[in-house]
Structure 1
Amino acid sequence: MVKFYHFNFNVLDLEKSLAFYDQALGLKPVREVDKMDNGFKLVYLGDGVTGFTLELTWLKDRTEPYNLGECEFHLAFQTDDYDAMLEKHRAMGCVCFENPDMGIYFIADPDGYWIEIVPTH
């Protein structure tokens, strides 16, 4: 049997990313792996509901933005308060694409990763 465990985003500014994910999506750290002696730190964020986590990887010596290609990948979150989330994300200035016909939108995190927001049906 195979089941989802976590998904990873590499980030340039860990504190900025932690603040963004907390403010935008309410994600909180659930586990950390601090390997600063090896030049990296991992922080796993959870939603408090499922066991799935988003792993943020911070590399001490990394200074260049990550090449995200054409952003043809994304992580999706489902919400039962879609309209309030959309207004919150608009106020934060992080909405990067809206598709009213499909009833979805995307936000971009500080490193440019796209996150889809989908209403619960």
Structure 2
Amino acid sequence: MARLIHSMLRVLEEERSVRFYRETLGLHVVEKLVFDSFTLVYMAGEGGPFELELTINHDRTEPYDLGTAYGHLAVSVADARAEHERLSAAGHPVTPVKTMTHGGGENPRVVGVFFFLTDPDGYRIEVLERGEPGRFA
């Protein structure tokens, strides 16, 4: 069975947003991944496994229009490829399975195997194979 693990927000200024969520909700940074064009900051509270993912696009200078800003819900599963096969066979709209890696060179680290599922209202749900929140497989 799937469990809810994180929600994503695009933010303009990393430090301002991290400070806000730390001060207002008591969240702390669990993991920070810096890629060429964006940074992912995962934050969580002490009371549970749910995380807030802040995405900072490096080339963005203007505030986001919150009516069209991208976001998603995410669930964690033991085997993303098996879930993809099951959901696809049942006729649900899914994207291809992808693997995200971090770091270059000969030993990039796999930080997620995932695909997206779309609900009847058009909301996208990331189905992600990974360990405990903040502890990438």
Runs of at least 5 residues in structure 2 that lack an aligned partner in the other structure = 69-137
| TM-superposition CA deviations, 1:73-108 (whole Å, max 9, x none) | xxxxxxxxxxxxxxxxxxxxxxxxxxxxxxxxxxxx
**Aligned ranges 1:24-103 → 2 under 5 Å:** 24-35=24-35, 38-69=36-67
- Percent of aligned positions that are identical: 43
Give the superposed CA RMSD.
1.3
TM-score by length of 1: 0.54
TM-score by length of 2: 0.47
**SS of the residue 1:4 aligns to:** strand
Tell me the CA shift for residue 34 of structure 1: 1.3
Runs of at least 5 residues in structure 1 that lack an aligned partner in the other structure = 71-121
Match of 1:5 in 2: 5
Take 1:57 and 1:28, find their aligned partners in 2: how far apart are those partners? Answer: 15
Match of 1:18 in 2: 18
The structure in which a higher percent of residues are helix is 1
Tell me the CA shift for residue 33 of structure 1: 1.2
Aligned residue type for 2:9:
F
Give the aligned length: 68
- Structure 1 runs of 4+ off > 3 angstroms? none
